[in-house]
Amino acid sequence: MQGSHAQPQTDMPHGAPLRGPDAVEHPAHHGGGGRHRLIGHRKGDWHRRVLAYSEVELVHPDGQGAGDAQSLLLVHVRKVVGHVDFRLCASCAEAVITEVLIEKQFHRSGLGTRALSHLRARYPGVVWRTTLDRRGTRDLMRRMRVPRQAENSRCSHANG
């Protein structure tokens, strides 16, 4: 057979090369997906955002009236993973956010932004303020352009 002397010797079909007994496969060559890809591993910023927008429900508990302390619950698979507490005054069209709490696994997911946007859409024409000054919530309020209010200040009609 002419030219067959240039073919590598194999014991595998389709011409796969022989490996000696000392041949070591390099760990950088794992196959499909690259070195750092873990099969079935679904963590990361993008996945948290998708989870926050598709699987977390925003729920208003029943029996809350205007003027009372109200709450918006963030629910993921029948578990409360966060809440936004606020006071709403319908007569002066102002609301004060008094607490934003989100579980650590949902930090940096956009869930806080989604919750405040939901409140703004549910109560149009209401001016939103906050009393919060913690680092995480301070950044959220700055991004959402919610101004800070003094801790003990109330509505203008309640002061008189």
- Does any domain span residue 76? yes
Contacts of 84 (CB under 8 A, 6+ apart): 71, 72, 74, 97, 99, 100, 101, 115, 116, 119
Q: How far is residue 79's CA from residue 82's CA, in Å, rounded to a whole number?
A: 9
Residue 25 resides in a domain: no
85 lies in a domain?
Answer: yes
Q: Per the domain annotation, does 98 fall within a domain? A: yes
pLDDT of residue 160: 43
**What is the residue-level pLDDT of the chain in tens, covering all 160 positions?**
566 666 555 555 555 555 556 655 555 555 555 555 555 545 677 776 777 778 889 998 886 665 578 999 999 888 999 999 999 988 888 999 999 999 988 888 889 999 999 999 999 999 999 988 888 788 888 889 899 886 666 666 555 4
Distance of alpha carbon 29 from alpha carbon 52, whole angstroms: 34
The reply to whether 31 falls in a domain is: no
Query: 93 and 125 in contact (C-beta within 8 Å)?
Result: yes
* 63 lies in some domain: yes
Q: Is residue 5 part of a domain?
A: no
Helix (H) or strand (E) holding 99: strand 94-102
**How many folded domains does the chain comprise?**
1
Q: Is residue 154 part of a domain?
A: no
The residue segments making up the domain with residue 111 are 45-143
Per-residue burial over 120-142, b = 16 or more CB atoms within 10 Å of its CB, e = otherwise: eeebeebebbbbbeeeebeebbe
Cα-only R_g, the chain: 29
> What's the CATH number where 82 sits?
3.40.630.30
CA separation, residue 28 to residues 21, 31, 40, 83, 101 (Å): 20, 9, 19, 44, 42
Residue 61's pLDDT is 86
Helix axes 135-143, 111-122, angle to 10 degrees: 50
- What per-residue confidence (pLDDT) applies to 2? 63
At residue 158, the pLDDT reads 56
pTM summary value? 0.64
User: Largest alpha-carbon pair distance within the chain?
Assistant: 108
What pLDDT was estimated at residue 117? Answer: 94
